[in-house]
Amino acid sequence: MKKKLALALATVLACGLLFTGCSGGSGRVVNVCSWGEYIDTDLITQFEEETGITVNYQTADSNEILYSQLKNGGANYDVIVPSDYMIARLIEEDMLAELNYDNIPNYSKIDDAYKGLSFDPENKYTVPYSWGTLGIIYNTTMVDEPITSWNAMFDTAYADNVLMINNSRDALGIALLSLGYSVNTTDEAQIREAYEKLAKAKADGVYQGWVMDEVFQKMEQGNAAIAAYYAGDYLTMLESNPDLAYVVPEEGSNWFVDAMCVLKDAEHKEEAEEWINFICGTEASLANMDYIWYASPNAEALEQYPAYYEETYGEPLDQELYEIMAAPQDVLDRCEVYENLPADTLTLYNDLWVELGVGN
Amino acid sequence: MKNKRSLFAVPYIVWMAFLVVIPIIIMVVYAFTTVPAGATDDSLTFTLSNFTSMGNYTVVFTRSFKLALIATLVCLLIGYPISYMIAKEGPRFQRIAMVLIMLPMWINFLLRTYSWMSILENNGLLNQFFRAIGLIDLYNSIAIHFAADPAAYQPITYFQMMGTSGAVVLGMVYNYLPFMILPIYSVIVKLDHSLVEAAHDLGANSIVVFRKVIFPLSLPGVLSGITMVFVPSVSTFAISRLLGGGNQMLLGDLIELQFTGGAYNPHLGAAIAMVMMVIVVVCMWVMNHFGEGEEQAVML
């Protein structure tokens, strides 16, 4: 019996060692969690060489998955890069730490346009990482005329040729925009109307599928005519299919900002701020922008990018592409940033979303 | 002596306790509780509302069980003859056949499902092939004669396969077929051949031998095969999302949505998972009753 107990204890101990093994050692560490394909990985090596801090870089699939990881308490991230509405929610639930901007001198290079946004009005918790727009990607050989309106996403003329985005916020947001409502509305009648529009289009067989990153393969290989997705990803798709075009519809769209934040219970706050400072520097921003195709909020980097591109690739950057990546002010004026919705609106979103999936 | 041998079971018990028993307890606790509205701390209150709200999802339940049942049946119809055939061959052939059956399982499951996407797409390999051999033109030239209004007939340029429930079943069958073949094969290959000979001696022809001797004796393998195909099929979410194009929401998708969706309701998710588990366990229990008297099927 004693032996049994000893063995059991030994096993538990061994398990414990196994799982804590990676956080041991005396070196300085920072745990970063971001999205997939969302950083130029050379930057990580460069940062490690410059500072001697080891970066544990992990990725999450979506804001919602990141949120559930944080809620479950299973993750020990220091720096995360959520989007606007999720930041608002995390601040509301008191999960983020206030930053010491003295340790982040490069913050001064961030354009004022990305400071004081609705999710962090007093600039206490965030340093913007990148921004972009949601829009319609379409295959010019598969549509009769250029797409200009979100209504194309509900048009039976393109039956079985449309890819709707597979998350409740964006899909219902698109329907709200096509009806001329705000993406941040909390009016139940408006949200239900948007749901009806989606449900009708679904019943009419407009949607070939509800997709997230599967959209790359489908659009690149010409399996669908129209899809709603993000500007930066359009530029990636364009590399393999030159027939694709991108538009921010006339009704306006979502303008999203992803920003770096430090968690309240972060163990490596100092290292986290060093990392944030490094990433929002001009040089790193340029390299990153070139890799991920999403615009940087660093004013210098954004301005220098066309020159950087020409120097790197030996050819000038197409102005049109540059404006898709970094939407000009007149486009942004049409767009809205997602705000965090109150709990009962979120529940309504989820209920309608499930109904939409259930109903066939 | 007995004590010493049970020592070997300790790692298994620890493993099961940590990865099976504790998670199930957590699931049950979540299923019967909720976070009261407006609470800021981690307080939980007892509730049954997670279960009462589940009526909205009957469609998803029926669809999941229906598709998983079809997939299991197809696996059985394909898997049994193959296992039987392989078991009859020489040891060299058996080894090669086993490697070939296992081979796809060395590749990541998601990767394999993604490959099916490029095969089944409207512009995918299969449709390109159909177009090249003129099958689609042939279909159009026939269908136009049957169209109510031939003038208005819209010729098709592809057969739609993606996003249908057929594609989802195909994905399940493809991914889980080895789990049907392996247990059936391992039972048949160990059958005492003298029983078959005895049956022949007593005048039974091959069909009777199969029906009265081989099939009943292979039943434990069939039962564990059915379990091992049905359970992952009924709970899958990747296959329905990738091959069903999000048009075919299954239980797995519904549960995943509760954890990773915007409203984040792990309590409802846990309740759905629990109901699904209970239904599956009851199904398996009933099934194993069929095999009563035979050797009990291995539960997973």
DSSP-derived 3-state class of residue A1 = coil
Quick one: pLDDT at residue A182? 95
Top-confidence residue, B238 or B169 = B169
Is pLDDT at A188 greater than 60 in this prediction? yes
Interface test with A, best of B249, B256, B267 (most A CBs within 10 A): B249
Q: Does residue B286 form part of some domain?
A: yes
What are the distances in angstroms from CA B129 to CA A115, A217, A225?
54, 19, 21
A 146-185 near B (Cβ less than 8 A): 160, 164, 166-169
| Domain membership of residue A307 as a residue range | 26-131+256-326
- In-domain check, residue A12: no
pLDDT for A9 equals: 45
Q: Distance from A198 to chain B by nearest Cα, in Å?
A: 13
Return the residue of B nearest to A67 by Cα: B260
Closest residue of chain B to A345, computed from CA coordinates: B263
Residue B292 pLDDT exceeds 80: no
Is A1 contained in some domain?
no
Range of the domain at B234: 32-122+160-290
CA–CA distance from A338 to each of A118, A136, B171, B271 (Å)? Answer: 9, 18, 37, 31
Q: What average pLDDT does the segment A226-250 reach?
A: 94
Q: How far is Cα A306 from Cα A139, in angstroms, rounded to an integer? A: 26
Phi, psi (rounded to 5 degrees) for A56? -95, 100
Contact A131, A325 (CB under 8 A): no
In a domain, A8, yes or no: no
End-to-end CA distance of chain B: give it in Å, rounded. Answer: 29
Look at B253 and A71 and tell me if their CB atoms are within 8 Å.
Answer: no
In angstroms, what is the C-alpha Rg of chain B?
24
Confidence of residue A6 (pLDDT cuts 50, 70, 90): very low
Q: Assess whether A35 and A121 both reside in one domain.
A: yes
For A254-275, what is the mean pLDDT? 94
Confidence tier at B289 by pLDDT (50, 70, 90): confident
Q: Are residues A36 and A72 in the same domain?
A: yes
Residues in chain B whose Cβ is within 8 Å of chain A: 3, 6-7, 10-11, 14, 18, 37, 56-57, 59-60, 114, 117-118, 121-124, 160, 162-163, 241-242, 245-249, 253-254, 257, 259-266
* Residue A13 forms contact with B (CB below 8 Å): no
More confident call, A273 vs B265: A273
Asked if the structure places residue B4 within a domain, the reply is no
pLDDT at A254: 94
Q: Indicate the pLDDT class of residue A12, thresholds 50, 70 and 90.
A: very low
Could A353 and B262 be called an inter-chain contact, meaning their C-beta atoms sit closer than 8 Å?
yes
For the residues A100-107, what does the mean pLDDT come to? Answer: 94
Query: For the segment B95-116, what is each residue's pLDDT rounded down to a tens digit?
Result: 999 999 999 889 999 999 999 9
Question: Are residues A246 and A295 both part of a single domain?
Answer: no
pLDDT for the residue numbered B130: 94
Which of the residue ranges A60-74, A150-164, A311-325, B28-42 would you say has the lowest mean pLDDT? B28-42
Q: Does A5 touch chain B (CB under 8 A)?
A: no
The CA distance from B211 to the nearest CA of chain A, in Å, is 42
- Give the mean pLDDT of A4-33: 57
d(CA B231, CA B252): 11
Compute how many other C-beta atoms are within 10 angstroms of the C-beta atom of residue B232.
19
Q: In sequence order, what DSSP letters do the residues of B100-126 get, joined into one string?
A: HHHGGGGS-HHHHHHHHHHHHSTTSHH
Is 60 exceeded by the pLDDT of residue B298?
Answer: no
Q: Using the CB atoms, write b or e for A208-242: b if 16+ within 10 Å.
A: bbbbeebbbbbbbbbbbbbbbbbbbbbbebbeeee
Does the pLDDT at position A10 exceed 70?
no
A224 and chain B: CB distance < 8 Å anywhere? yes
Q: Does residue A218 fall inside a structural domain? A: yes
- Residue A5 — very low, low, confident or very high, per pLDDT cuts 50/70/90? very low
* pLDDT of amino acid A3: 46
Of A160, A211, A346, the CB nearest to B263: A346
Contact A64 B264 (CB under 8 A): yes
Q: What tokens does B38 get?
A: 């407006």
Let me know whether A203 and A341 are in one domain.
yes
Mean pLDDT of A311-340: 92
Which residues have CB under 8 Å from B254's CB, separation 6+? A354, A357, A358, B57, B60, B272
Least confident of A70-84, A192-206, A222-236, B29-43: B29-43
The answer on A223 and A205 residing in a single domain is yes
* B30, A72 contact by CB (below 8 A): no
Domain count, chain A: 2
Q: Does A360 touch chain B (CB under 8 A)?
A: yes
Largest CA distance in chain B: 86
Contact A89, A340 (CB under 8 A): yes
Cα–Cα distance between A311 and A290 in angstroms, integer?
12
What whole-number distance in Å separates Cα of residue A218 and Cα of residue B121?
Answer: 8
Contact: B121, A223; criterion CB under 8 Å: yes
With beta carbons less than 8 A apart as the criterion, state whether A39 and A57 touch: yes
In a domain, A21, yes or no: no
Name which of B59, B160, B266 is nearest A358 (Cβ-Cβ): B59
Residues A196 and A75 in one domain: no
Judged by CB atoms within 8 Å, which residues 26-65 of A form the interface with B? 61-62, 64-65
Residue whose tokens read 């929401």: B249
Give the pLDDT of residue B38: 63
What pLDDT was estimated at residue B145? 86
Query: Quick check: is B127 in a domain?
Result: no
Q: Would you call A11 and B242 a contact, using CB atoms and an 8 Å cutoff? A: no
| Biggest alpha carbon–alpha carbon distance for chain A | 80
With respect to residue B17, please indicate whether it lies within any of the assigned structural domains.
Answer: no
CB contact under 8 A, A64 and B262: yes
Residue A160 located in a structural domain: yes
Tokens of B150: 């031939």
Same domain? A289 vs A247:
no
Query: Are A137 and A151 in the same domain?
Result: yes
Residues A122 and A146 in one domain: no
- The three-class DSSP label of residue A77 is coil
Judge whether B8 lies within some domain: no
Q: Compute chain A's Rg from CA coordinates.
A: 22
Q: Which residues of A touch B121 (CB under 8 A)?
A: 218, 221, 223
Which residues of chain B lie closer than 8 angstroms to A65, CB-CB?
Answer: 260
Asked if A206 contacts A154 with a C-beta cutoff of 8 angstroms, the reply is yes
Distance in Å, alpha carbon of A71 to nearest chain B alpha carbon: 10
Q: What is residue B261's predicted lDDT score, i.e. its pLDDT? A: 74
What integer best gives the mean pLDDT of chain B?
A: 88
Q: How far is B245 from chain A (nearest CA, A)?
A: 4
Q: CB within 8 A of A75, min separation 6: which ones?
A: A33, A69
Q: Is the pLDDT at A26 greater than 80, yes or no?
A: no
List CB contacts (< 8 A) between B160 and chain A.
Answer: 160
Task: Tell me how close the Cα of A277 comes to any Cα of chain B, in angstroms.
Answer: 30
pLDDT in tens, A58-87: 998 888 889 988 988 778 899 999 999 999
Above 90 in pLDDT, residue A307? yes
Asked if residue B105 is part of any domain, the answer here is: yes
Q: Is the pLDDT of residue B229 over 90?
A: yes
Neighbouring residues of A339: CB distance < 8 A, sequence distance ≥ 6: A84, A85, A88, A118, A119, A184
* Residue % of chain B over a pLDDT of 90: 50
- Smallest CA–CA distance, residue A126 to chain B, in Å, is 22
Q: What is the CATH number of the domain that holds B164?
A: 1.10.3720.10
Give me the pLDDT at residue B228, please. Answer: 92
Question: In the predicted model, is pLDDT for residue A17 greater than 50?
Answer: no
- Residue A139: the pLDDT is 95
8 Å CB contact of B254 and A357: yes
Mean pLDDT (whole number) for B108-133: 91
- What pLDDT does residue B180 have? 96
Test mutation, B121, B164, B272, chain A, max A CBs within 10 A: B121
The CA-CA-CA angle for residues A210, A215, A218, to 5°, reads: 105
The predicted pLDDT at position A354 comes to 84
Question: Average pLDDT, stretch A42-51?
Answer: 94
What's chain A's average pLDDT? 89
Q: How far apart are CA A123 and CA A226, in angstroms?
A: 38
Q: Per the CB < 8 Å rule, is B263 touching A67?
A: no
Same domain for A158 and A284? no
Contact list, A209 vs chain B (CB under 8 Å) = 162-163, 245-247
Q: In sequence order, what are the beta bridge partners of A327?
A: none
Question: Can you list the positions of beta strands (E) in chain A?
Answer: 29-35, 54-60, 79-80, 126-139, 162-165, 207-211, 226-230, 244-247, 255-262
Is the pLDDT at B192 greater than 80? The verdict is yes
Residue B68 above 90 pLDDT? yes
CB-nearest to A7 from B10, B254, B261 is B10
Least Cα separation, residue B122 to chain A (angstroms) = 6
CATH number at residue A309: 3.40.190.10
Same-domain check for residues A50 and A124: yes
Distance from CA of A94 to the nearest CA of B (A): 10
Tell me what pLDDT residue B291 has: 60
Cα separations in angstroms, B17 against A8, B8, B11, B27, B228: 12, 15, 10, 14, 22
Do the bridges between strand A29-35 and strand A162-165 make them parallel or antiparallel, or are there none, so unpaired?
unpaired
Does residue A287 share a domain with residue A205?
A: no
End-to-end, the C-alpha distance of chain A in Å comes to: 59
Nearest to A8 among B14, B60, B124 (CB): B14
| Residue A3, in any domain of the structure | no
Partner residue opposite A68 with nearest CB, options B14, B160, B264: B264
CB-based contact B260 A64, cutoff 8 Å: yes
Kindly report the three-state secondary structure assignment for every residue of B194-253.
HHHHHHHHCCCCHHHHHHHHHHHHHHHHHHHHHHHHHHHHHHCCHHHHHHCCCCCCCHHH
Closest CA to A284 of A39, A34, A51, A28: A39
Structural domain tally of chain B? Answer: 1
B264/A71 Cβ within 8 A? yes
Percent over 90 (pLDDT), chain A: 74
**Domain annotation covers residue B227:** yes
Residue A137: pLDDT band with limits 50, 70, 90: very high
CB pairs under 8 A between A and B: 112
Least confident piece of the model among A2-11, B220-229, B258-267: A2-11
Q: What is the mean pLDDT of residues B288-297?
A: 58
- Say if residue A148's pLDDT is above 90: yes
